[in-house]
Chains A and B, each alone.
Chain A
């Protein structure tokens, strides 16, 4: 049981390049989330999903795209990388609404992305 797995752990991109950050969970969780953490700041929600085919915007969605074709995977796509997207990206998942259980959001170890 690996929990939430994010790949890669570290990546450097040039301005204008594109890439996909991968997130996979093996806990059969319905809910998955993408956050970014800028230096010295708290996490901000980019996008989230409540199940396969259903996604919604968070606080800072501009410049990103997501899709959810399976329960296990929730990739985050950067189409035209910009220096402002330099950040650490965290993926998280949870089984159900927190109101229905004591399950918290489980976080991955993060991907450090630098755009130069």
Chain B
């Protein structure tokens, strides 16, 4: 089965500190994409960062970076200099290939991140 596991239901961090959210996945495909999405209380799904599985270099987007370990099927998200606006549910996801190249996303159960002022 194609699955995504986020082992931390909840995390909290002090403002300005660094926090790492864990994600492991199981797929038989060799070419895929990995994502972290943020869902604030407004319910919007906001893309935080993405990683192509064929790239060894870890993706970075400003304060957000990933640690991608392909052999271990691990994809953790590091948030540096945490800000109050980072408080949200964070979902890890990877893409399954659908018909005509469509990307079907498989999501984990999420990690609720709290930022303490």
Chain A residues with CB under 8 Å of chain B are 31, 33, 35, 40-45, 48, 50-51, 54, 56, 58-59, 88, 90, 92, 94, 96-100, 104-105, 107, 109-110
Complex Cα–Cα for A104 and B45 (A): 11
B64 at the A interface (CB under 8 A): no
Question: Chain B contacts of A88 at CB under 8 A?
Answer: 43
The total number of A-B Cβ pairs within 8 Å is 69
Question: Chain B contacts of A43 at CB under 8 A?
Answer: 45, 91, 93, 105, 107
Question: Chain A contacts of B71 at CB under 8 A?
Answer: none
**CB atoms of B44 and A109 under 8 A apart:** yes
Question: Chain A contacts of B35 at CB under 8 A?
Answer: 104
Scan B4-41; emit 1 where CB is below 8 A from any A CB, else 0. 10000000000000000000000000000101000000
A74 to chain B, nearest CB (A): 13
| 19 pairs from A and B in contact (CB 8 Å cutoff) | A31-B102, A41-B109, A42-B107, A42-B109, A43-B91, A43-B107, A45-B106, A50-B101, A51-B100, A58-B104, A59-B106, A88-B43, A94-B103, A96-B101, A98-B95, A104-B35, A104-B50, A105-B47, A107-B45
**CB atoms of A97 and B102 under 8 A apart:** yes
Known A43-B91, A45-B105, A98-B103; further 16 A-B contacts with Cβ < 8 A: A31-B102, A33-B104, A42-B107, A42-B109, A50-B98, A50-B100, A50-B102, A56-B98, A94-B103, A96-B101, A97-B101, A99-B101, A105-B103, A107-B44, A107-B45, A110-B43
Total interface residues on B, using CB and 8 Å?
25
- Which of chain B's residues has its CB closest to A9's CB? B43
Question: Chain A contacts of B72 at CB under 8 A?
Answer: none
Within B42-56, the residues touching A (CB, 8 Å) are: 42-45, 47, 50
Complex Cα–Cα for A45 and B103 (A): 11
Question: Chain B contacts of A97 at CB under 8 A?
Answer: 101-103
